[in-house]
Structure 1
Amino acid sequence: MSYVLPAVMVRTLRSALGVPTGPTAFIIIDSVYYIFAVVAAIIVSRRVGFSWQTVVGKKPRFKDIASGLILLIPLFLVQLGAFWPWNLILSYLDPGEFAAKFAGKRRAVVVWSEQSDFWIVNAVRFASISIISPAVEEMLFRGIVLRTIAIRWSLNIGIFISSIAFGILHYSGGNPIGATAFGIAMAILYLRSGSLLVPCCTHMLNNASVFVSLYLAGPRGPGTTWTVPILWQTLIFGMILLWVGCIWLAYYCLDNWPARKRRAQG
């Protein structure tokens, strides 16, 4: 797990910087993070003896891709529902991060209303979040971390540890609860299909839908800022979404979970 910590530190540092003051800085920071992640993945894969063909797996089947598309529904419910409990927890554990998040310093969509080229940055950010990020994260967490831990210990431990690490990576500005559940679902999808391209496609569509939703929603106004009292008042709504999503997701995971502990093939 020594190669996961640096990636987490870089991602956290990148988020802690907030929204850069211009398009160039924003693109540079994103590029450095992904270059670091790809280099780390290549180094680790060579050290453990993985071939890229083994990591990527076989050609995806249509039914596996369709299964991933259907899985987006419970994943959406879980991630949206987890918004309430996670941010309430965050407001007590890390008030500074909570304040920065809802002050707009952790937004995935960047709006520079006074600059004519803000759309260029959002286009680059869309490619980063919807294409590059899912590919890199699936390669790292499912293709390498999961397989490495499965070989050394067990497949079940690999699923949980890789998913928790994936959740931690999304601490700053994200939702570790929803991200961890998402990681478990992607791990099961990877193991079930035997192809890394299946969770990659699912991950890309998930991120793209979130980005587009945030873009269409536009910047938050002063009257729509989330506060702790508002979160408590609307908590029941989030818990209903979370409950329905968890039941659906649990059924999928249990129905497709590996029947027994086994070591991943190198």
Structure 2
Amino acid sequence: MLLYTAISMGHMLWVKHSIGYQAYFAGSTTMPAKLLVFNQALKAGLIFTVIAVALKHKGLCWQAVGFKPFRTKWLYLAVFLAIAGFLVRVVLAKWMVFVMPQWHAFTAAPLQLSETSIPALSLFLGLTVLVTPVAEEVFFRGFLFQWFASRRPLWLAAIISSVIFGASHIVPAQAISAALMSLIIIYLYVASGSIWPAIICHITNNLFSISANLFPQTAFFQSLTGG
């Protein structure tokens, strides 16, 4: 994670001292799609590489981080909990914006459809919905939670790793939601004995979250709502 942070900071410093932020963001009100894609691809790539090297060094296989068979019922429960958790987080987000209106900017979509090309949007969706959930589950549940759980009580390991997972999302509203969702995902991981239900829950959650952010921007949705 330190390596990811260092490379990300180095990238932004390069932008600052080369083309400049104004040219890089091109007047957009959101993060450029290319930056979002770069950051997600970088994070996933680093996690998979570092974990693969660590497993090989320890003489372990990917089962050590939870890639084990699981019963079908956990697939359905993972999807159900992801949807339930998403609905709860929507209510929580609306409440937070009501209490702290200045947080409204933090709930905006990560990018604007009108400002994003089809290839960039496809890469962003693929990384957000499929690649990033796997990478984050491998690191935060398969490694970090397991590491804490081997040294501290299970409940404390769940809280600490969830707080760290939430903090990694940086944006306040997202950080709180991610920390709460992490507790649900940890339950799936521990109860099923496999990381796959956690991954399925994470993928479903991201699919609903990104759809809720991007779908309202479409002309079809705006015509229905009168927007």
- Pairwise CA distance, 1:81: 1.8
Cα displacement string for residues 230-254 of structure 1 (whole angstroms, at most 9, x for unaligned residues) = xxxxxxxxxxxxxxxxxxxxxxxxx
Residues 6 and 87 of structure 1: is their aligned pair in 2 closer, same or farther, counting only changes over 3 Å? farther
Which one is further off, 37-46 or 142-151? 37-46
Structure 1: 5+ residue stretches without partners: 220-266
Residues 122 and 192 of structure 1: is their aligned pair in 2 closer, same or farther, counting only changes over 3 Å? same
Residues 101 and 70 of structure 1: is their aligned pair in 2 closer, same or farther, counting only changes over 3 Å? closer
Residue of structure 2 equivalent to 1:19: 31
Structure 2 CA distance for aligned equivalents of residues 44 and 87 of structure 1: 42
- Pairwise CA distance, 1:59: 1.0
Question: In 2, are the aligned partners of 1:45 and 1:144 still within 8 Å (CA)?
Answer: no
Question: In 2, are the aligned partners of 1:11 and 1:169 still within 8 Å (CA)?
Answer: no
Structure 2 CA distance for aligned equivalents of residues 54 and 47 of structure 1: 13
Structure 2 CA distance for aligned equivalents of residues 171 and 25 of structure 1: 16
Question: In 2, are the aligned partners of 1:69 and 1:202 still within 8 Å (CA)?
Answer: yes
SS in structure 1 at match of 2:41: helix
One-letter identity of the residue aligned with 1:168: A
Residue of structure 2 equivalent to 1:238: none
Residue of structure 2 equivalent to 1:171: 170
Residues 138 and 9 of structure 1: is their aligned pair in 2 closer, same or farther, counting only changes over 3 Å? farther
Residue of structure 1 equivalent to 2:209: 210
- How do 1:171-210 and structure 2 match up within 5 A? 171-172=170-171, 174-210=173-209
- Pairwise CA distance, 1:101: 3.2
SS in structure 2 at match of 1:175: helix
Question: In 2, are the aligned partners of 1:57 and 1:194 still within 8 Å (CA)?
Answer: no
Structure 2 CA distance for aligned equivalents of residues 158 and 12 of structure 1: 29
**Residue in structure 2 matching 1:61, options 71, 86, 92:** 71
Structure 1 CA distance for aligned equivalents of residues 118 and 138 of structure 2: 29
Structure 2: 5+ residue stretches without partners: 13-24, 219-227
Residues 152 and 173 of structure 1: is their aligned pair in 2 closer, same or farther, counting only changes over 3 Å? closer
Residue of structure 2 equivalent to 1:101: 106
TM-score (norm. length: structure 1): 0.64
Cα displacement string for residues 25-78 of structure 1 (whole angstroms, at most 9, x for unaligned residues) = 553333223222333434555677753112124212111111112212320222
- Pairwise CA distance, 1:153: 2.0
- Pairwise CA distance, 1:24: 4.7
Question: In 1, are the aligned partners of 2:106 and 2:172 still within 8 Å (CA)?
Answer: yes
Residues 29 and 203 of structure 1: is their aligned pair in 2 closer, same or farther, counting only changes over 3 Å? closer
One-letter identity of the residue aligned with 2:202: H
- Pairwise CA distance, 1:170: 1.6
Structure 1 CA distance for aligned equivalents of residues 183 and 136 of structure 2: 13
Residue of structure 2 equivalent to 1:157: 156
**Residue in structure 2 matching 1:81, options 81, 91, 100:** 91
1:147 aligns with 2:146: yes
Number of aligned residue pairs: 203
Structure 2 CA distance for aligned equivalents of residues 88 and 35 of structure 1: 38
Structure 1 CA distance for aligned equivalents of residues 213 and 90 of structure 2: 13
Residue of structure 1 equivalent to 2:113: 111
Aligned CA RMSD, in angstroms, stands at 3.4
Question: In 2, are the aligned partners of 1:10 and 1:33 still within 8 Å (CA)?
Answer: no
Residue of structure 2 equivalent to 1:231: none
- Pairwise CA distance, 1:171: 2.4
Structure 1 CA distance for aligned equivalents of residues 48 and 113 of structure 2: 28
Question: In 1, are the aligned partners of 2:142 and 2:195 still within 8 Å (CA)?
Answer: yes
Residue of structure 1 equivalent to 2:128: 129
**Residue in structure 2 matching 1:33, options 33, 43, 52:** 43
